[in-house]
Amino acid sequence: MRKPNRIVEKGERGLKAFSYAVTVFFLACGILPLVWLLLTSVMDNPSIESSKPQFVPKIPHSLTVTVDYTGVLSEDPAFYKKDAMEAIWFPWATMSRSNLGEIVVNGVKDGRLLFRAKANSGQFFVGQTSIVPTRVVNNTVMSLKIRTIDERRLSDFHWYGPEGKAADGASRSFSDHELARRYVQFFQEHNVLEGQVVSVGHSRNPLRLFDSYVSLQHLAFGQAGELGFYRYFINSAIVTFSVIFWQLIFAGLGSYALSQLIRSHRLRFGLLMFFLATIMIPGISILIPQYVLIQKLGLGDSLWALMLPHFAWGFVIYLFKGFFDQLPKELLQAARIDGASEFKTFLHVVVPMSIPVFVIVAVMTFIPVWNDFMWPYIVAKSPAHWTFTVAMNDLQETSARNSSVRPNWVSASGVISMIPLLLLFVSTQRFVERGINFTGVKG
Amino acid sequence: MAPESSRSHVAAGPERGRFRIRWTPVLFLLPSIVVFIVFKYYLICSAVYISLHNYDIVRPPGEFVGLENYFLFLKTSTFWLALKNTFVIFLLSVAVTFWVPIAQALFLSEIGRANAVYRVLYQIPSILPAVAGALLWKWMYNPDRGLFNYLLGKIGLGPYGWLNDPAMTKFAIVLPGFFASGGVGVLLYYAAIKSISAEIFESAKIDGCGPWRRLIHMVLPNIRFVILIQFVTFMSGALLTFDNIFVMTQGGPADASLVVSLLIQRSAFTQSNYGMSAALSLFMFIVIAILTVIQFKLQKEES
């Protein structure tokens, strides 16, 4: 039924339908790659390794092993720790192609829980090349590796002691899942453990799908120190927020002075040109002198080197000035007559009226600084000063060189890298839409 | 901030004989002026200076060679190859990417219902940092285990070499832009379209101008200033593109995707030829400046 007052033109329906089709198509184009990224980041190991891409992750297996030490005299935790690591790492190395997500080893003695040791696939695959590169199985090998395991936290070991809690359920059973059988068989063939494997339970642990995220962390412990992968994010955040801080305060004050405080027209125009002309200079054209200057200042390989060049941005001055030009002069005059200093006027009168432009500047600063890659890549030499873009590129390069870095870790790093920008967009969308109107790019 | 403010007496403020110097604006402007002088004006002069030397970073400035660096790179075939690649990639990305946000905004403006939702959804691809995007696509392009060859294989196409195939690598570098070209561009165009006065449309309707023709003959010309501005930004971005090419191919295979910005980085930081690198980067600066001026001239003549 047609609405009585409205004439539907010829072609209008067709256009509308076409518009919907185009919009849905482009939205799918934009979003599907991200879905693939998300999906591969939680993909189980055999699926990511397989020659055909897999679309549904399979839930990883979890083995819970009980080792009985009744009759073993030693009370030294280090002694048991080595044994626990052997119980985890040696058999896992033979099963590395299976979808094993975690091995938990419970050490018991006289019905008491002596220790509990754990490693998940995130930890295992990071350590595989350094802890169990070969199939040599003996005590000497493991004693040499304990330090690496500790340094990069490749396994958890909790010592309860001989007076520890009672071992729960002394079920001396062996699951007949294939992995459990292979586990038992391994220790029948290799007699390295001091204790006796008395039970192997099998379950599935969906949490272990997220082990690629865990891997990133353990991978970075060896490179960037204590904070692991967070280090890179903190670096990126420090740089980004320092630049935003500078732009909001100093570019804001400068543009305000330019817009409202300078009375000479010629001077104002000259200064405006001084700032805006720099928009023409592409970053790469001053890359070399910038590098030389940073080295000269002795700031090479520090976070200062990453932020300083971003302080001079003509575009931000342009945005601020465009907004401040429209401020009602009477209001500013009134504040001055009341005896407020220029700084107080700025803080108490101008800033509250200009929240939208401050948000826009923050967003417009955040995105390019957060995503910046070439400059940090060139200037930040040591991993402790890497931003996450540099870290991601390193991850990818290692992954291309050898298989020690797996594709699902790279995907996981991609997913993590989206989170800050996602939060930014969700929280500022309203302002960005409004802000488009005063960026001056409108026709 | 402290070192800048202590210098306030040296810097020339808005000092004119007949004016009393007002220190507040000077103080407000000083930090910005200092960083702009140091990080823009000093650096661009320094770039010229470095480009005239066989620059030695350990014992600067090294031997003065005049314009030799410029003549030198103009003589290498690598430079011409890189320049050609740069422009091919630029033209390809115009063909594949540039028009996409315009089309998105055009058709979005025809949708009345839940419009804001679509605009938000269009922003989603831009939350993925360029480096992460390059990683993702490199993995999807993998000739043996990648998603694309698998999916195309299902419908009987391929397998393609994508980034590993010199004939295809430029296209493969540009293609992700088609998928993720939404972002702020859509919002800009959309705002421009919405600001066209409704009266124009009403009168066109009365004159019997159909909706399709209206879109092409009325909306597009009315937003051409925004398109021009976006094109200028797009052009310098595309001509200097670095991140995605560096992550995806590093210029390979067989220099098929070697662009000038990669050459600049390579000659400075792997060959330590800073003078040459600075000369190259100034060359690109001039090329882009000339192209920009030409575009604004053309626009002026037209209107």
What's the pLDDT at B278? 93
**Each residue's pLDDT tens digit, A114-164:** 889 999 988 888 888 888 887 788 888 888 888 888 888 889 998 888 777
What residues of chain A, 367 to 396, have a C-beta less than 8 Å from chain B?
367, 370-371, 373-374, 377-378, 389, 392-393, 395-396
- pLDDT-based confidence at residue B19 (cuts at 50, 70, 90): low
**Each residue's pLDDT tens digit, A317-346:** 988 998 898 888 888 888 888 888 888 888
Q: A318 and A425 in one domain?
A: yes
User: Residue A296's domain is classified under what CATH number?
Assistant: 1.10.3720.10
What's the pLDDT at B217? 83
| Domain annotation covers residue A220 | no
Residue A410 to residue A40: CA distance in whole angstroms: 9
| Domain annotation covers residue A163 | yes
Assess whether pLDDT exceeds 50 at residue B156.
Answer: yes
What residues of chain A, 339 to 358, have a C-beta less than 8 Å from chain B?
341-343
| Domain annotation covers residue A54 | no
Most confidently modeled range among A422-436, B38-52, B189-203: B38-52
Residue B182 to residue B189: CA distance in whole angstroms: 11
Question: Alpha helices of A95-177 — where are they, by DSSP H?
Answer: 121-131, 139-151
What's the pLDDT at B8? 40
Q: Is B269 in the A-facing interface, judged by CB distances under 8 Å?
A: yes
Q: Is B140 in the A-facing interface, judged by CB distances under 8 Å?
A: yes
| Domain annotation covers residue A48 | no
Shortest distance, CA B191 to any CA of chain A (angstroms): 7
Contact across the interface for B139 and A411, Cβ inside 8 Å: yes
Taking the whole predicted model, whether its pTM rises above 0.90 is answered as no
Shortest distance, CA A348 to any CA of chain B (angstroms): 16
| Domain annotation covers residue A159 | yes
Q: Mean pLDDT lowest for which of B16-20, B90-94, B209-213?
A: B16-20
Q: A198 and A83 in one domain?
A: yes
Assess whether pLDDT exceeds 70 at residue A348.
Answer: yes
Assess whether pLDDT exceeds 60 at residue B11.
Answer: no
- pLDDT-based confidence at residue B202 (cuts at 50, 70, 90): confident
**Each residue's pLDDT tens digit, B228-257:** 888 988 998 899 999 999 999 988 788 999
Last residue of a domain, one of A169, A185, A209: A209
Residue A143 to residue A84: CA distance in whole angstroms: 12
Q: A92 and A35 in one domain?
A: no
What's the pLDDT at B13? 45
Q: A385 and A354 in one domain?
A: yes
What's the pLDDT at B85? 95
Architecture in CATH for domain B71-302: Orthogonal Bundle (1.10)
Work out whether the CA dihedral A306, A307, A309, A315 comes out positive or negative: positive
Q: Above pLDDT 90, what percent of chain A?
A: 24
Q: Are A221 and A151 in contact (CB under 8 A)?
A: yes
Shortest distance, CA B79 to any CA of chain A (angstroms): 16
Query: Which positions in chain A touch B47 (Cβ < 8 Å)?
Result: 285-286, 288-289
Average pLDDT over residues A93-113: 87
Query: Which positions in chain B touch A436 (Cβ < 8 Å)?
Result: 184, 187-188, 191
Average pLDDT over residues A95-100: 86
Q: Is A26 in the B-facing interface, judged by CB distances under 8 Å?
A: yes
**Each residue's pLDDT tens digit, B119-142:** 888 888 888 888 999 989 988 898
Structural tokens at position A381? 């030499």
Structural tokens at position A124? 């295992």
Shortest distance, CA A259 to any CA of chain B (angstroms): 10
Contact across the interface for A18 and B205, Cβ inside 8 Å: no
A108 CB-contact burial (10 Å; exposed 0-12 / middle 13-18 / buried 19+): buried
| Domain annotation covers residue A2 | no
Contact across the interface for A15 and B212, Cβ inside 8 Å: yes
Last residue of a domain, one of A162, A177, A209: A209
Contact across the interface for A52 and B129, Cβ inside 8 Å: no
Contact across the interface for B184 and A432, Cβ inside 8 Å: yes
**Each residue's pLDDT tens digit, A59-77:** 999 999 988 888 888 888 8
Q: Which is more confident, B5 or A211?
A: A211
Assess whether pLDDT exceeds 50 at residue A443.
Answer: no
| Domain annotation covers residue A240 | yes
Shortest distance, CA A51 to any CA of chain B (angstroms): 5
Provide the β-strand partners of residue A109: A112
Structural tokens at position B96? 């594949």
Length of chain B equals 303
Q: Which is more confident, A251 or B56?
A: A251
- CA-nearest residue to A40 within chain B is B136
Q: Are A399 and B107 in contact (CB under 8 A)?
A: no
* CA nearest to A431, candidates B108, B226, B184: B184
Contact across the interface for A33 and B119, Cβ inside 8 Å: no
Q: A340 and A275 in one domain?
A: yes
Mean per-residue pLDDT over chain A, rounded: 85
Query: Which positions in chain B touch A10 (Cβ < 8 Å)?
Result: 210
What's the pLDDT at A38? 92
What's the pLDDT at A2? 45
Last residue of a domain, one of A162, A178, A209: A209
Provide the β-strand partners of residue A64: A104, A201
Assess whether pLDDT exceeds 60 at residue B161.
Answer: yes
Q: Which is more confident, B214 or B177?
A: B177
- Residue A269 CA: distances (Å) to CA of A259, A272, A275, B196: 10, 5, 10, 31
**Each residue's pLDDT tens digit, A261-280:** 888 889 999 999 999 999 88
**Each residue's pLDDT tens digit, A278-320:** 988 888 889 999 999 999 898 888 899 999 999 999 989 988 9
B113 CB-contact burial (10 Å; exposed 0-12 / middle 13-18 / buried 19+): exposed
Q: Mean pLDDT lowest for which of A7-11, A50-54, A69-73?
A: A7-11
Contact across the interface for A254 and B32, Cβ inside 8 Å: yes
Query: Which positions in chain B touch A387 (Cβ < 8 Å)?
Result: none
Question: Alpha helices of A60-173 — where are they, by DSSP H?
Answer: 77-94, 121-131, 139-151
What domain count does chain A have? 3
Shortest distance, CA A404 to any CA of chain B (angstroms): 16
Assess whether pLDDT exceeds 70 at residue A6.
Answer: no
Assess whether pLDDT exceeds 60 at residue A184.
Answer: yes
Q: Above pLDDT 90, what percent of chain B?
A: 35
Count of C-beta atoms within a 10 Å radius of residue A179:
19
Query: Which positions in chain B touch A286 (Cβ < 8 Å)?
Result: 39-40, 43-44, 46-47, 281
Q: Are A252 and A320 in contact (CB under 8 A)?
A: yes
Q: Mean pLDDT lowest for which of A155-164, A395-404, B142-151, B270-279?
A: A395-404
Residue B285 to residue B76: CA distance in whole angstroms: 19
Average pLDDT over residues B272-281: 91
What's the pLDDT at B38? 94
Residue B56 to residue B63: CA distance in whole angstroms: 8
Assess whether pLDDT exceeds 50 at residue A441.
Answer: no
Contact across the interface for A15 and B211, Cβ inside 8 Å: yes
Instruction: Supply angle C-alpha B102, B104, B110, rounded to 5.
Output: 105
Q: What is the DSSP letter of B144?
A: T
Mean per-residue pLDDT over chain B, rounded: 85
Residue A288 to residue B43: CA distance in whole angstroms: 9
Assess whether pLDDT exceeds 70 at residue A201.
Answer: yes
Q: Above pLDDT 70, what percent of chain A?
A: 93
Q: A277 and A400 in one domain?
A: yes
Residue B168 to residue B257: CA distance in whole angstroms: 10
What's the pLDDT at B16? 47
Assess whether pLDDT exceeds 80 at residue B1.
Answer: no
Residue A14 to residue A22: CA distance in whole angstroms: 12
What's the pLDDT at A1? 44
A374 CB-contact burial (10 Å; exposed 0-12 / middle 13-18 / buried 19+): buried
What residues of chain B, 145 to 184, have a C-beta less than 8 Å from chain A?
145-147, 150, 176, 178-180, 182, 184
Q: A202 and A172 in one domain?
A: yes
Nearest to A285 among B100, B145, B284 (CB): B284
Q: What is the DSSP letter of A4?
A: T
Shortest distance, CA B297 to any CA of chain A (angstroms): 16
Those residues whose C-beta lies under 8 Å from the C-beta of residue B132, and which sit 6 or more positions away, are A37, A389, A392, A413, A414, A417, A418
Shortest distance, CA B83 to any CA of chain A (angstroms): 15
Assess whether pLDDT exceeds 80 at residue B109.
Answer: yes
Average pLDDT over residues A372-387: 90
Residue B60, classed as helix, strand or coil, is coil
Q: Above pLDDT 70, what percent of chain B?
A: 93
Nearest to A281 among B29, B40, B133 (CB): B40
Domain range for A230 is: 225-438
Q: Which is more confident, B18 or A65?
A: A65
Contact across the interface for B215 and A293, Cβ inside 8 Å: no
